[in-house]
Structure 1
Amino acid sequence: MWTVSQAKRCVFLIHRWTGVAACVLMALWLVSGVVMLFVGYPKLLPAERLAALAPLHLPPCCVPVEAALQRSPAPRAVQQITLTTIAGQPSYRLVQADGSLRVVNAITGMAAPAVDEAAALRSAQAFMPGAAGAVRAQVMDDRWTHSGLLDPHRPLFQVQMQDEARTLLYVSSATGEVVMDAPRQQRYWNFVGAWLHWLYMFRDGSRDTVWSWLVIGLSAMGTLSAVAGALVGVWRWRFAGRYKCGARTPYREFQMRWHHITGLLFGGVLVLWVFSGLASMNPLGVFSAGQRPDLPAYRGGAPGTARVAISANDALALLRAHGFVPTELHWRVLGGQPYLLAHDAAAATRIIALDKAGRSAAAPYRVLERFGLQDLHAPASVLLPSPVAHTLALQQHDAYYLRRGAASMYAGAERDLPVLRLQFNDPGRTLVYISPATGDVVLSVDKAQRAGRWLFNLLHSWDLPWMLREPILRKAVLVAMSCGAIALALTGTVLGYRRVMKWAVRRGERSASGERVLGRVSRLRRWCGARDFEP
């Protein structure tokens, strides 16, 4: 059985030898993490996409949506219908039951031709009017397009624009839409930012199990090394009394001394950051949802079979009569009742729904800014088999429903207010958030997911609502702590380098010594073999 001194010796050795590699990795993670506070991984935010769309005008729009559905191989199985603008042309975008995409010209009612380089260039130039461009390549995946949200659009056309920002646009080969933009400055910063932080140089495609386990393994090693280092640092610090050198640390050499001191000051932060990075990978699915909301039951139908009776042209005219200039129309169903959801260039929304009060037979549809909360309760009750335990209309963000900054990996998640929050009485005590502005279930989290939120998002990003409301102070604190942790990692890197070089020299000396011995033995054998010894 191990003694206390043997156990401590083991911890010392774990920190010494795992730290050789872990300190370099942690230094890279910390530096890239600071960059990520200000520059995010390339993505096209919903607001950016809507701002680039032309308003839907009357005329030339639009053929009836039923005509567009006839271009689908399975019209009744269509799950989503959107009227938008693609390459300057009003178009219906249909999402089939298998997730595949189909585009129909909203002026002619004909299926859009296959997207080629010329179509991709037209779409890119419509997205950035006045800028010249050239198609660079067609790719299935590259360093900026690992997101799984892009899978239905692959392969992607790369279009290099000649604008001031030297933006690289990615155009869907399925629909011809611009699905991502990556300005040159953002791309360059990402080489020392998200691309480096997430070790994307080792990732292949949107789903890469080898990459996932590589990051999990390295994060686990880093966590082990950091915890061992924290223990060693505490053990070696004299809280009462001093060493013979007069200091509380036994180390006199500059690098060792400051590695010890910075470890005591910032080691805890480093442990939390590396461990939360491990938690972000959801190892073995420990933070996965036990039961997900039943969205088809919540909708109670699909646009392929349930649609509002108002035509697209009449809907556009009705919206304009209410002072709303739409850029997109979505055919939706909520609780079996169809409705239209409209977006404008500023990402504002309006809803066209049947006037249940029947105030006017000549105008059976009305324009709403949002659904009433009572309109959402009944459909929401079927999201999970368990009953609703608690309902609350949130007027401000809570610990799970948060709006992040543009650099965040969650920046694309719309978190508008007010929002309806329901807590179900299921084993996971699931929280479901529904947006009255769209009727969409925008977030659901059960116990396991909430644990992941605290162990990853909070410890890694410090993103409580009151922290996010003070972005400058939050970033200043994170940068200051990162600088301290970087000093810890860099001093450890120097010490690790010295340790490796010392080990290499000793190994070389042993090797040279061994070669001398072997040489002498060989010469002795040759000398003995040259003589005939008699017994």
Structure 2
Amino acid sequence: MFTILLKLHRYLGILLSSVIALWCASGIVMMYQQYPTLTDNEKVSSLTTLDFTNCCVDLETLNLDYDGDYIEIEMLSGNPIMRFSSFYDEFTVSLVDGTFINEINNEQALSVVTNYLYNNNINFNISNITSELINSDQWTIYGTSVRKPPYARYEINNKEKTHLYVSLITGELAQVTDRRERIFATLGPVIHWIYPKAIRDNPSLWSKIIISLTILSSFLCFFGIYIGIKKIKLISGVNINRCKNINYIHHISGLFLGVLLLCWIISGLLSINPFGVLEGRSFHQEYYLNSESGLSMGNISMLIESLNDKGIPEKAVKIYASKVNNTPYAISISGNLEKDRLDIVSLEKSDLAIEDLKIVGANLRDDAGIIEQGWLSEGDSYYYSHHNDRPFPTYKIEYSDGEIIYLNNLTAKINLIIDSNRKLYRWLFAGVHRFDFFKEVRKRPFWDIIMLSIQLSLLLFAFTGLILGFKSLRNIIKRLVRKIFKFNQR
């Protein structure tokens, strides 16, 4: 039995040692370069200051049979537009003539690009900008909230080799990357997640590859740990020559790092929730109740009338409007992401009342009592900034069944929902894989020192396995060649 396990470990090592080494190396890169993701700052950088000179059409003529959840008013190619969103539909309409915008032309898309370049002080020559029509590429399969292809991909051809993507359906900026970001994202998350577009375009194939590689790698580690324990011997002295032996180094280091590597691989597998093992319950009802605010065309017309009469807030590039507990409100967003919550009639500042948040929390879960609620100004065990930034403060509501809902401090929209399975996912994946168990550990550079020590140790250990794997493969090839040579001599 031991001999069989030894052979299995050796052959699995030949197949998987390079995969594990790449996982370790790309994990180090991912500490400092995530997958390119469109940020709120990049979104507003593509907008210009709101101008109602040519505004506005009578919105009552749209004759909608339903209310909306929220609207966003912004500029597109010099004209004000409104983006309307409800549970049933999404559309964009011109506030100049009331026409629906179902697609945009190259001139409009290019204006989004130049706005971004001007607002970010990026040098460019308009004649050097080239464009290409795409449905998706490596940097739009993930990292963008604008899932409205086709996209126009604009290559700025500047020193940074900036690429910008604009949806030709909505006219929204969908993605921004530069050469450095693309290179390190390829060396990091693309390799680590096995995320080449050709594979990721087939979710079933991608999932099977991830599950197969991680399960086989787990067996490789488990067999190695078992073999290491069975073969361990107490050594009375240090033999320098023996320590130079790669087998010996791999064996001794494996006793300490093998368990860590096994935990890391299994936690990585859990990140994709294989076979639904950590799948939480559906929160469809909560999101539905939280999204259908009942914003009517009458509310929207009242807001636009107020903006025309009293003037647009200074430096505003976007106006967001929705309802909380049947009370409409607006949020003015400036180019540097400053946000002011406003009354839609007076346009005076109107902070979200804590009583409104309590009502929202009770309505979202009328089947469970609230045991504790209040403002959260810094991260806790489940809602925190690390790989992704979370907005603070947030309103935290804990229910009697252990579930937690975090609400946005301006809109009362759901920021995050946590149930028992999502709690497990947080500890078994994020805790183990990213080593962010506590806020003290997450602080940098303390986290960097810990993670680099672990990652470099695992990388060196994986590298010894890679060397042994190549040696075993070379020996197998040599034996095979000798057998073929002897057979031909007969």
* Partner residue of 2:110 out of 97, 121, 130: 121
| 1:36 is the counterpart of 2:26 | no
Once the 2 structures are TM-superposed, how far is the Cα of residue 299 of structure 1 from its aligned partner? 4.8
Whole-Å Cα distance in 2 between the matches of residues 57 and 385 of structure 1?
43
Deviation, structure 1 residue 279: 0.7
- Determine whether 1:327 maps to 2:322: no
Counterpart of 1:302, as a letter, is G
* 2:72 maps to 1:82: yes
Q: Determine the structure 2 residue equivalent to 1:284.
A: 275
8 Å Cα contact 1:308/1:338 also seen in 2: no
| Cα separation, 2, equivalents of 1:197 and 1:123 | 33
Structure 1: gaps (5+ residues): 1-5, 355-362, 520-535
Identify the residue that residue 483 of structure 1 maps to in structure 2: 456
Q: Match of 1:358? A: none
Offset, 1:144: 1.1
Q: Is residue 392 of structure 2 the alignment partner of residue 417 of structure 1?
A: yes
Q: Matched residues in 1 for 2:169 and 2:201: separation?
A: 17
Aligned to 1:383: 364
Matched, 1:400 2:408: no
Residue equivalent to 1:199: 194
After the TM superposition, which residues 202-351 of structure 1 pair with which residues of structure 2 at under 5 Å, given as runs?
203-204=198-199, 208-238=203-233, 241-242=234-235, 246-247=237-238, 254-292=245-283, 293-299=285-291, 301-304=293-296, 307=299, 310-315=302-307, 325-351=315-341
Deviation digits for residues 364-384 of structure 1 (CA, Å, limit 9, x no counterpart): 66422x412211111221223
Determine if contact 1:328/1:342 at 8 Å carries over to the other structure: yes
DSSP-derived class of the 2:433 partner: helix
Mapped partners of 1:173, 1:179: distance in 2:
10
Cα distance in 1 for partners of 2:109, 2:379 equals 39
Distance (Å, rounded) in 2 between the aligned partners of 1:207 and 1:328? 37
Q: Is the 8 A contact 1:330 1:342 kept in 2?
A: yes
Question: Which residues of structure 2 form unaligned runs of 5+?
Answer: none
**Aligned counterparts of 1:290 and 1:40: Cα–Cα separation in 2:** 28
- CA 1:463–1:491 in 2, change beyond 3 Å: closer, same or farther? same
SS in 1 for 2:384: coil
Distance apart, 1:155 and its partner CA: 1.5
| 2:425 paired with 1:452 | yes
Q: Please give the secondary structure, in 1, of the residue aligned with 2:415.
A: strand
| TM-fit CA distance, 1:508 | 2.6
1:436, distance to aligned residue in structure 2 (A): 1.8
Q: Is the 8 A contact 2:378 2:392 kept in 1?
A: yes
Q: 1:152 to 1:252 in 2, by over 3 A?
A: closer
Partner of 1:165: 160
- Structure 2 residue matching 1:90: 3-state secondary structure: strand
- The answer as to 2:334 corresponding to 1:371 is no
CA deviation vs aligned residue, 1:202-249 (integer Å, no higher than 9, x gap): 6455661111221121112222212322333333333xx327xx4599
Contact 2:141/2:197, CA 8 A, preserved across alignment: no
Q: Deviations over 1:436-492 (max 9, x none)?
A: 222211000111111111111111112245246522221122122211111111111
Q: Which residue of 1 aligns with 2:411?
A: 438
Point out the more displaced range, 200-209 or 344-353. Answer: 200-209
**Structure 1 residues 14 and 151, CA gap change in structure 2 (3 angstroms):** farther
* Inter-CA distance 48–319: structure 2 relative to 1 (3 Å threshold): farther
Q: Residue deviations 1:473-519, cap 9 Å, x none?
A: 21122122211111111111110011112112222323333444xx5
Alignment match, 1:470: 443
Q: Does 1:503 align with 2:476?
A: yes
Offset at 1:187? Answer: 0.8
Matches within 5 A, 1:17-56: 17-56=11-50
Q: Is the 8 A contact 2:50 2:312 kept in 1?
A: no
Q: Percent identity, aligned pairs only?
A: 21
Please give the alpha-carbon distance, in whole angstroms, between the structure 1 residues aligned to 2:243 and 2:399.
Answer: 60
Structure 1 contact 222–274 (Cα < 8 Å) conserved? yes
Give the Cα separation in 1 of the matches to 2:398 and 2:384: 17
Deviation of residue 302 (structure 1)?
3.3
TM-score of the two chains, using structure 2 as the length reference: 0.88
CA 1:279–1:308: 2 relative to 1, 3 Å: same
In the other structure, the counterpart of 1:110 is 99
Between the aligned partners of 2:232 and 2:385, the Cα distance in structure 1 is 42
How far off its partner does 1:416 sit?
2.3
Decide whether aligned partners of structure 1 residues 285 and 396 sit closer, same or farther in structure 2, where only a CA change above 3 A counts.
same
Residues 1:303 and 1:396: Cα distance change in structure 2 (over 3 Å): same
Q: Sort the Cα spacing of 1:314 and 1:445 in 2 relative to 1 into closer, same or farther, 3 A.
A: same
Aligned residue in 1 for 2:142: 147
Query: Residues 286-343 of structure 1: CA distance to partner in whole angstroms, max 9, x if unpaired?
Result: 222213152232355333567366322524776867xx64221122122333322332
Equivalent pair of 2:133/2:151 in contact (CA under 8 Å): yes
Q: Distance in 2 between matches of 1:249 and 1:14?
A: 30
The amino acid of 1:398's aligned partner reads D
CA RMSD of aligned residues (A): 2.9
State the match for 2:179 in structure 1: 184
State the alpha-carbon separation in 2 of the partners of residues 327 and 463 from structure 1: 36
The answer to whether the 8 A contact 2:306-2:346 is kept is no
Aligned to 1:529: none
Instruction: Say whether 1:134 aligns with 2:129.
Output: yes
TM normalised by structure 1 equals 0.82
Aligned residues of 1:237 and 1:249 also touching (Cα < 8 A) = no
User: 2:60–2:297: 8 Å Cα contact kept in structure 1?
Assistant: no
User: Shift in Å at residue 195 of structure 1?
Assistant: 1.3
